[in-house]
Chain A
Amino acid sequence: MPFRYLPDIALADIAFEAVSGSVNGLFESSALALSDIMVDPKTVRQGTTRKVKISSDDLDTLLYDFLTEIIVLKDVDSLLFSEAKVRVTADHRSLEATMKGEPIDRERQVLRNDVKAVTMHMFGVRHDHDRWKATVVLDI
């Protein structure tokens, strides 16, 4: 499983740890974790493709901004995603992502929590023995 929930980290909100062998995979896992918190991804079809480009100061901020953009797309364009393909540049300051999903459908999709923000609580990306890990706490 590319991510796991951390039940004892946040009382009022939801926390997860994403893991991958690559930076690209870590960003994809984190996007999936965020989506999983908002909707059962099995109920999200992939009829809509959205390209996302982000530039930030460092890898931590890049992930923060990427996840924030997914939240913004949910609120502004009413989109939810069940797939993310991410390419992070070698300097870890930019990314391009192809997100696949569809507009929110309350009748068919199994909706879960309305995520409102990425917090900085325990937030961070780290490289640990060939594994990339990210800890993220989301404000619900």
Chain B
Amino acid sequence: MPNIDSFRQISDVVWEVPTSYKQGMLVPARIYATKKLLEAMDAGVIEQVTNLACLPGIVRNAYAMADAHWGYGFPIGGVAAFDTESGVISPGGVGFEINCGMRLIRTNLSFPEVKSRVRELVDLMFRLVPAGVGVKGTLRITESQFEEVMRYGVKWCAENGLAWADDPSHVEEGGFIKGADPSKVSRQARSRGIDQLGTLGSGNHYLEIQVVDPSRFFEPELARHFGIVEEDQVVVMVHCGSRGFGHQVGSDYLRVFDGAMKRYGISVRDRELACAPFSSKEGKDYYGAMVCAANMAFTNRQVIVQKIREAFSQVFHRDAEALDMHLIYDVCHNVAKVEKHTYDGVNAEVLVHRKGATRSYGPGHHDIPTPYRSIGQPVIIGGSMETGSYLLVGTSKAMEDTFGSTAHGSGRTMSRTAAKREVRGAELQRKMLERGIYVKSATMDGLAEEAGMAYKDISEVVETMDIAGISKKVVALRPVGNIKG
């Protein structure tokens, strides 16, 4: 339990760690948590978010969201914005799985229509979407096409018959982040990534059939904007990222920055906070490569969604368009982006790092698709496979307080090894089936590691961010079918 005696309580769910807490802090740290969540947070979160506050060029605050737990350098659930001239970029502030993110697709099916077909759907999607150790995707592209994927993400998909016309506009940044530089991506990263499009990976990544929970349908009018109109409507969620490609980019540049810091006179308290000035050659090179990986991840999720549409179409003998399987939205939760924000009376571009945190733009922002612009950006926060997930909406308060950022998921409370000691995968699978959730996993060990008891209570995480006014709950989504790698 962290020592919170010196923290200043700003509100019921916002705590400030002053700069006097640790020598070198340039800004305070702000933690979004109920007292219960804060007291349960591992001490590593406080250590890491206050280390983060020491990085050159950081503006306003270092942030830890309600789902925060310690990570490599930045905490998971960490957010920090940097002046683009004087600030740094840090691979640890993005994460190895660059653009790990969430995608949500709707259907016009009700649960009664789907209930008896869940097993068939899950088994079919398990065949269509490779998951697990060393899997390769079915999409075969040339190296030149892969470079186009790195540059244009979902826009490339749309130009190559792999997306519907309105898919790109329903993805953060319009389906690709500008500034990709494939020449900054190593041969190893390219080799790892070129065959991985359309694959799920493993760990906490999943593909899940969900149903609107009528007992937690908070804002039906807002949900209508997203095409969620029925209390038992079926949706599908995808959680995955840039796979080995992004990881190799992260590994490559962690080594580069480790060596580069001395040259720029930067010292950090934690080697995993290795960074370089954003304006430096190393900083620009990493950004160019990171954007390639982010766009690859958008493409990966897009190719997976095409397979999901194919599976539903096959099982229900109707076109996916007839099933209204449009994309609600796709969000990143591991990325660094140049964004324009207003803070301290100034409207300026800053480099926002979100590591295990989600963008939460409020109403009116031009990057929000037109159908949603009046209400705010959809925010998808994923829970464990036992507890389900939430759809929320971004707010003006998020723009004012957290550089338009909110939490991303539950956050782990238990290590993988400890989880496997507590529960057996086969037993967990059986118990989940009894509760109406059919899970198919590439490995039983992987399943046990992802048991719900290894995660924080997502409802409390989501409630915290809602009370803080950072993201507003729209609807809870309960799982009925799940695929794990």
Contacts and interface: CB of A to CB of B under 8 A. Distances in A.
B306 interface: no
Interface of A: 5-14, 38-39, 61, 64, 68, 71-72, 74-76, 78, 80, 104, 106, 110-114, 116-121, 139-140
A68 to B, nearest CB: 6
B414 A11 contact: yes
B479 to A, nearest CB: 20
A106 B255 CA distance: 33
Contact of A114 (B254, B274, B421, B485): B485
Contacts of A112: 133, 443, 445-446
The 9 A-B residue pairs whose C-beta atoms are closest, nearest first, are A7-B417, A114-B202, A116-B247, A117-B247, A11-B412, A75-B192, A75-B244, A140-B203, A111-B133
B424 to A, nearest CB: 15
A130 B258 CA distance: 29
A114 B69 contact: no
A11 B69 contact: yes
A106 B65 CA distance: 39
Interface string B40-79: 0010000000000000000000000000011110001000
B251 A118 contact: yes
Contact of B413 (A7, A11, A14, A139): A11
A12 to B, nearest CB: 5
Contact of A76 (B191, B202, B485): B191
Interface string B192-217: 10011000011110000000000000
A9 B69 CA distance: 13
Which label, helix, strand, loop or mixed, suits the secondary structure of the A interface?
Answer: loop
A111 B442 contact: yes
B97 interface: yes
A12 B415 CA distance: 6
B133 A120 contact: no
A88 B375 CA distance: 61
Contact of B134 (A14, A74, A117, A120): A74
Interface of B: 42, 69-72, 76, 96-97, 132-136, 188, 191-192, 195-196, 201-204, 243-244, 247-248, 250-251, 254-255, 258, 271-272, 274, 412-418, 421, 442-443, 445-446, 449, 485
29 contacts: A8-B415, A8-B418, A9-B415, A10-B415, A12-B69, A12-B76, A12-B204, A12-B416, A38-B133, A61-B255, A64-B255, A72-B188, A72-B192, A76-B192, A78-B134, A111-B132, A113-B445, A113-B446, A114-B132, A114-B485, A116-B97, A116-B243, A117-B250, A118-B251, A119-B72, A120-B72, A120-B274, A121-B272, A139-B247
B415 A75 contact: no
Contacts of A9: 415
A64 to B, nearest CB: 8
Contacts of A140: 202-203, 416
Given A9-B415, A11-B415, A113-B445, 7 more contacts: A6-B417, A68-B251, A104-B133, A111-B443, A113-B416, A114-B203, A120-B258
B133 A39 contact: yes
A13 B76 CA distance: 12
Given A116-B243, A117-B247, A78 B136 contact: yes
B132 A14 contact: no
Contacts of B202: 113-114, 140
Nearest to B421: A7
B369 to A, nearest CB: 31
Contacts of A139: 72, 96-97, 247
A104 B271 CA distance: 34
A8 B44 CA distance: 12
Contacts of B71: 12
A12 B412 contact: yes
B203 A113 contact: yes
B272 A13 contact: no
Contact of A13 (B192, B416, B443): B416
A114 B96 contact: no
Contacts of B442: 106, 111
A66 B97 CA distance: 21
Contacts of A76: 191-192, 195
Contacts of A75: 134, 191-192, 196, 244
A119 B96 contact: yes
Nearest to B420: A7
A75 B132 CA distance: 11
A93 to B, nearest CB: 15
A104 B76 CA distance: 32
B446 to A, nearest CB: 7
Nearest to B188: A72
Contacts of B485: 114
Contacts of A38: 133-134
B272 A120 contact: yes
Contacts of B132: 106, 111, 114
